[in-house]
Amino acid sequence: MTILTVEHLAKSFGSKKVLKDLSFSIPTGTIFGFVGENGSGKTTTMKIILGLEKADNGEIMVCGKKVHFGATETNRDIGYLPDVPEFYGYLTPSEYLKLCAEITGIKSGTAKKKIPEMLEMVGLSVAAHRKIRGFSRGMKQRLGIAQALLNDPKLLICDEPTSALDPAGRLEFLNLLASLRGKVTVLFSTHILNDVERISDEVGILHDGKLQASGTLSALKKQYAAPKIAVALETAADSQKLASQLKKAVFAKEVDVVQNSSLLFSYDGNYETTMAELLSLLLQQHLTPTMLKKQDPTLEEIFLEVIK
């Protein structure tokens, strides 16, 4: 079942066409990583999904209901975390979530039970009665998730949620998002490709106003990037010798010397067959590897291949 469908979305600001013909859908229960360069239109897309920005063309459906600019009906099924969430610093997390519950019409009895559960889920129970003004950026992001999930949304939208976090904060936040898998569908935009690789079930690559590629990471790897084998040898001379032989070999494609005594080459065929041919070549050339490793393509390599 599909929870979000975007069809032929177009949006311009003056003469600049940000979205040209954007179409994609997200299956229920998945974590969908929405990636693209800065300024590619990710935030604009999310604002249109939320009814906060008017599209020039196209249609969006959330949970089978059409999104309309300025309307809030579909937003009852959506939780939203902006890239820089704002809070009333003089409130505590418990007070802030109580205010959000009142605004969204959650009954006081339900809110009284649910707020501590939300704070426990995002790891803020110990800070439930501290003033928000003293929170770190990571703590604010976690409070933002609690607020976004307070009304039991079916779809959670996060816009660049890890962009300003340090490595420890990013990992903590990503683990929190991953823990929501199966409980709520997550759409999160980012330009940090490692974050997408870490937790996403599916990936969509936005470029030039369109979704240029979409699918599971494994499917995108098969379609856009060749697998590689890394080889380390004892000396730089051995590495250069192997590189020259690989450039003549039928089983090897692009060959790159990545360090003085290491190299990387891509291949088309079966891994086991390619490895057997490589070992045979090493034996013929009297070369002893210190390391042999299959190296799967990264999302960064896929991304660069898609947008080039």
pLDDT, tens digit (0-9, with 9 covering 90-100), for 95-110: 999 999 998 889 999 9
Residue 83: predicted pLDDT: 82
**For the chain, which residues make up each domain, given as ranges?**
2-215, 226-307
**Non-local CB neighbours of 247 within 8 Å, separated by 6+ positions:** 255
Residue 118: its H or E element: helix 108-121
In the chain, the amino acid numbered 90 is: Y
Rg of the Cα atoms in the chain: 24
| Helix spans in 203-267 (H) | 217-224, 236-246
Q: What would the mean pLDDT of 164-170 be, rounded to a whole number?
A: 82
Name the burial class of residue 147, with classes exposed (0-12), middle (13-18) and buried (19+) by CB atoms within 10 angstroms of its CB: buried
- Global confidence as pTM: 0.83
Residue 266: its H or E element: strand 262-266
Q: Which pLDDT band, with edges at 50, 70 and 90, does 284 fall under?
A: very high
Beta bridge partners of 16: 13
Q: What is the mean pLDDT of the chain?
A: 91
Residue 225: predicted pLDDT: 79
Full strand arrangement of the beta sheet holding 289-295: 255-259, 262-266, 228-233, 289-295
Residue 129: predicted pLDDT: 92
SS3 content of the chain, % helix, strand, coil (to 5): 40, 30, 35
CATH topology identical between 2-215 and 226-307 = no
Name the burial class of residue 21, with classes exposed (0-12), middle (13-18) and buried (19+) by CB atoms within 10 angstroms of its CB: middle
Selecting from 3.40.630.10, 3.20.20.70, 3.10.20.740, 3.40.50.300, what CATH number does the domain 2-215 have? 3.40.50.300
Structure tokens at 55: 């599209």
Reported as a single tens digit per residue, the pLDDT across 199-251 is 999 999 999 899 999 999 889 988 887 888 999 999 989 999 999 999 999 89
Distance CA 207, CA 303 (A): 10
Architecture of domain 226-307: 2-Layer Sandwich (3.30)
Reported as a single tens digit per residue, the pLDDT across 41-96 is 999 999 999 999 999 999 999 999 999 998 878 998 999 998 888 899 999 999 99
**Non-local CB neighbours of 287 within 8 Å, separated by 6+ positions:** 233, 238, 241, 242
Of 120, 175, 172, the residue nearest 146 (C-alpha): 120
Name the burial class of residue 148, with classes exposed (0-12), middle (13-18) and buried (19+) by CB atoms within 10 angstroms of its CB: buried
Residues 32 and 42: beta-carbon distance below 8 Å: no
